[in-house]
Amino acid sequence: MRKITKHQIRVSFLGYFLSLTLISSCVSGQLGKNNGGEYKNGMVVSAHPEASAVGIEILKKGGNAVDAAVAVQFALSVVYPNAGNLGGGGFMVYRSAKGEINALDFREKASSSARRDMYLDSVGNPIVDKSLYGQLAVGVPGSVDGMVEAHKKYGKLNWNQVVQPAIDLAQNGFKITKRQASELNGLHRDFMKFNPNGTAFINLESTWKENDLLVQNELANTLKLIQEKGRAGFYEGAVADSIVAEMQNGKGLITKIDLQNYHSAWRKPITGTYRGYKIITMPPTSSGGIALIQLLQSVEPYPLKKWGHNADSTVQLIVEAERRVYADRATHLGDPDFYAVPKNELLKHSYNKNRMSTFNWNSATPSSSVLAGNVSGKEHEETTHFSIVDKEGNAVSITTTLNGSYGSLVVVKGGGFLLNNEMDDFSVKPGSPNMYGLVGGEANAIAPNKRMLSSMTPSIVEKDGNLFMVVGTPGGSTIITSVFQTIINVIDFEMQMQSAVSAKKFHHQWLPDEVYVEKDALDSLTTEKLKAKGYKIMSRGSIGRVDAILRTKWGTYQGGADPRGDDNAIGY
Peptide bond preceding 512 in cis form (omega within 30 of 0): yes
> To the nearest whole angstrom, how small is the minimum distance from the Cβ of residue 15 to ligand DON?
7
Instruction: Name the residue nearer to ligand DON (CB basis): 240 or 330.
Output: 330
Whether 53 and 32 have beta carbons less than 8 Å apart is answered as no
Please give the Cα distance from 153 to 151 (Å, whole number).
Answer: 5
* CB within 8 Å of 150: residues ≥ 6 apart: 66, 69, 70, 92, 94, 104
> To the nearest whole angstrom, how small is the minimum distance from the Cβ of residue 63 to ligand DON?
27
Q: Kindly state the DSSP code that residue 411 receives in the 8-state scheme.
A: B
* Binding stretches for ligand DON (CB under 6 A): 16, 401, 403, 422, 425, 454-456, 474-476, 479
> To the nearest whole angstrom, how small is the minimum distance from the Cβ of residue 16 to ligand DON?
3
> For residue 66, which amino acid is it?
V
Instruction: List 213's β-bridge partners, or say none.
Output: 175
> To the nearest whole angstrom, how small is the minimum distance from the Cβ of residue 313 to ligand DON?
29
> To the nearest whole angstrom, how small is the minimum distance from the Cβ of residue 473 to ligand DON?
8
Q: Is 244 exposed, middle or buried (0-12, 13-18, 19+ CB in 10 A)?
A: middle
Instruction: Name the residue nearer to ligand DON (CB basis): 456 or 471.
Output: 456
> To the nearest whole angstrom, how small is the minimum distance from the Cβ of residue 455 to ligand DON?
4
Please give the Cα distance from 18 to 179 (Å, whole number).
Answer: 9
Query: Of 177, 207, 222, 383, which residue is the catalytic one?
Result: 383
Q: Is 527 a catalytic residue?
A: no
Compute how many other C-beta atoms are within 10 angstroms of the C-beta atom of residue 513: 17
Helix, strand counts (H, E) of the chain: 20, 18
> To the nearest whole angstrom, how small is the minimum distance from the Cβ of residue 435 to ligand DON?
8
The alpha carbon of residue 351 and the mean position of all alpha carbons in its chain are separated, in whole angstroms, by 27
Instruction: Name the residue nearer to ligand DON (CB basis): 475 or 571.
Output: 475
Instruction: Name the residue nearer to ligand DON (CB basis): 401 or 558.
Output: 401
Pick the closest to residue 355 from 327, 313, 314 (CA basis).
327
> To the nearest whole angstrom, how small is the minimum distance from the Cβ of residue 194 to ligand DON?
18
Residues for the chain: how many in total? 572
Compute how many other C-beta atoms are within 10 angstroms of the C-beta atom of residue 330: 24
Pick the closest to residue 480 from 512, 514, 436, 441 (CA basis).
436
Query: What would you measure as the largest C-alpha separation in the chain, in angstroms?
Result: 63
- 268-to-141, 348, 519 alpha-carbon distances in Å: 22, 18, 38
- Burial readout 371-400 (b: 16 or more C-beta within 10 A, e: otherwise): ebbebeeeeebeeeeeeebeeebbbbbbbb
Instruction: Name the residue nearer to ligand DON (CB basis): 412 or 479.
Output: 479
> To the nearest whole angstrom, how small is the minimum distance from the Cβ of residue 422 to ligand DON?
6
Whether 526 and 315 have beta carbons less than 8 Å apart is answered as yes
> To the nearest whole angstrom, how small is the minimum distance from the Cβ of residue 384 to ligand DON?
21
Whether 507 and 515 have beta carbons less than 8 Å apart is answered as yes
Instruction: List 398's β-bridge partners, or say none.
Output: 92
Please give the Cα distance from 473 to 546 (Å, whole number).
Answer: 4
Give the per-residue SS3 of 206-275.
CCCCCCCEECCHHHHHHHHHHHHHCCHHHHCHHHHHHHHHHHHCCCCCCCHHHHHHCCCEEECCEEEEEC
Instruction: Name the residue nearer to ligand DON (CB basis): 105 or 462.
Output: 105
Question: What does the angle CA 385 – CA 386 – CA 392 come to, to the nearest 5 degrees?
Answer: 130
Catalytic residues: 383
